[in-house]
Structure formats: structure tokens, C-alpha cells
Structure 1
Amino acid sequence: MSSEQDDDFAPSQTTGYKPGEKKTLDEYKSLDANDESLNKWKESLGLHKATGPSDDPRRVVILQLALEVEGRPDVVLDLSTPDALEKVKDQPFVIKEGVSYRMKVKFRVQHDVVAGLKYLQVIKRKGIRVDKTEEMIGSYGPNAEPYEKKFQVEEAPSGMLARGHYDAKSKFIDDDNFTHIEWAWVRIL
């Protein structure tokens, strides 16, 4: 990745926020084992059931990325397999100029707790960055059932100069691990 791309994907830092110490799933399970309310909280995170295939080391598995526009069916990009991930580069979303839209992601957490999962998206047109989105997704425990997160509603650019093809690169970051997705984001008509 070039230095410019590294700058594009540098997450912002919240002043005064310091992430907690990383703990393993076993450490969370044994933490204050006699505290009933803490045990209920740990159960809600799914800490008593590690999931995921042993040959897949990923903690966060992105299953789908979708575009939600009121009045039409969602446009869904299947990201569940490496082949599907490769195909999304050639499947742009198509939306009308000035329309309100929302991105959403469906993902699964496996093997361990994920703390502070963030979503970063950089949109470029003709190689020039026109938008950068950064949103905190949250912390999740391992679960066989996927989670879904809807992002803030945004408005597509409008006007003759805004019409055209935009490229997007997305990154889902947890701790030092990340999943990088490159896709042909949107064509505005």
C-alpha cells in the first residue's frame, strides 16, 4: 500500500480514550466468576461458546455489504468467499444523484472477543479523495449467528459534475487486525 493510501486509512484517535488491555476468551470467562451480573453480561456477549472453523484464523468475517435506498430493494454484495470478494470490484452500486442512502454490513465474529471494531471507507473519483467515512461498529463476542450494523444515512452528490463513477476502499479494523475490501462503489446517474 502506498503512503497516500496509508494516510487515507489512518483511523482518527479520540482524545482521552485509551483502549483496555486485550484479554483472551479464557481470561474473560474467569474474570470475577462469582459476580452474577457480570456473568450475565459475559453470557450476552457469547463468551461461553467459541465459534468458527479451526482452520480459519480470522476473528471478523465480513459476509455482506449492502446499500439501502428507500423505495427499492437493497443492493447486496456477497463477501462470504474469496471468489465473491474478487467479483465485487466489477459490480458497482448504481444510484440517482441526490438520493439518501445508508450502508450496512453483516458480519460474524469467531474465536475471540472483538473490541472496538471500526469501519473506514475512502471514496475517490478519478484518483482524488472525495469522502472519508469512519464509524465505530462496537465490541462483539463470538457467535454463530451474524451481526448486522447499519451506518449513518448519507446523501449522494448531485449536479452534472457529480455524475459518474466512484471507487471505494473499505477497511474493518479491530485491534491490529483488519479486513480490506476494494470495490467499484457507485455510479451516480
Structure 2
Amino acid sequence: MGKFDQHGLKAISPLGGHEPRADAFTGFLIREVTDRALASLAARQGQGQAVKSAAAAYLGGALAEAARWSAAGEFAAWWMGPDLWMVSAPHDSHELLAAELKRAVGGAGSVVEQTDGWCSFGIEGARCYDVLERLCNANIRAGKAGDATRTSIEHLGVFLLCHEPGERYSVIGPRSSAASLHHALTAAAKSVI
């Protein structure tokens, strides 16, 4: 029995539904992603190498370099700034990701639970370039797989992760603005498709 079941509670997505939303267009798909746990990881002063080593041992791979994201097994992490990363894992198996990560890095790093602070949309299809070029000033066509770009969409600070150039991306923004971000994505899709 899950923690919500005993009280009859049901989790809702950032867009307010009980199931993730998907919007399909010709050559383009927007999917609300709700199955990932998130935790931020910051190295404390002078502890950058210790955090990188401890995190790599826990994650099964190195933390991402500047302006990049990486995946190892079920974990992913993207660079947010100097000695600062966001770590992601499947929610079902890592609901307590922040606590797990804190145990791994100990006193060398600061870890904050972020799952309910962010929303994520997966976008895919042959029209990705066209849609993203309408939305942000990132140099999308020059990007490569593994890029993590901090940019803005409709005045919202977002992270744009490239999985496959021109074909598959993640757009991650503040949960409190999920509806605005979703509207921007769908409006841009409608304008080019």
C-alpha cells in the first residue's frame, strides 16, 4: 500500500491531471513527464572533487560537465552551475532520492528534494527545431546529444536537455508555471505545424 492509498489521496500531475498529458501534432509530440524523482546536489566549499567522486560511485557514472547532462543506468544528472547539479531517477524506485543522495555524499555536499518543484515535458518529432526556435534563443541547430542549456521560454527559466538533435528533448521548468510552459509549447506547435 503506497503512502497515498491509506488516506484515499491521489497524486496529481503539474498540469492538474491524474494521468500525464500528451498532445500529438503532425510530426511532433509533447508529453508531460511525471515519473522522475529530482534532487539538487551542491558541493560545499572546497569539496567539489569529493562530491564528484561520491556521486559517481552512487550514480554509477560521472556527474555532467558544464552545459551537459549524462545518464548512467536509471540515473540522469545535468549541470546547473559551478559545483551544482540536478539528479533524476525513476520515482517508483527512488522516491527518497534526496535522502539516498545525501547518504552517498555525506558532509561534502548539500542535497535538496526537488521533485515537486519542477515540471518536465518530453518533446519529440521531426518538427522539434521549428517549435524550439519559436520559443527560445538557444542555438538549437548547433546542439548535440547530451547538451543541457539553460534558457528562457515565455519569460520562464528552463533547462533544455537534448537527447537526439532535432528529434527529442526534455524541457524542465518551475512546477508553479507548468500550465504556462505547456501553453507556450502547444501554441508554438500549432503555429508551425
Structure number with higher helix proportion: 2
TM over 0.5: no
Q: Structure 2-normalised TM-score?
A: 0.24
Computing the radius of gyration from Cα coordinates, the structure with the larger value is 1
Structure number with higher strand proportion: 1
Q: Structure 1-normalised TM-score?
A: 0.25
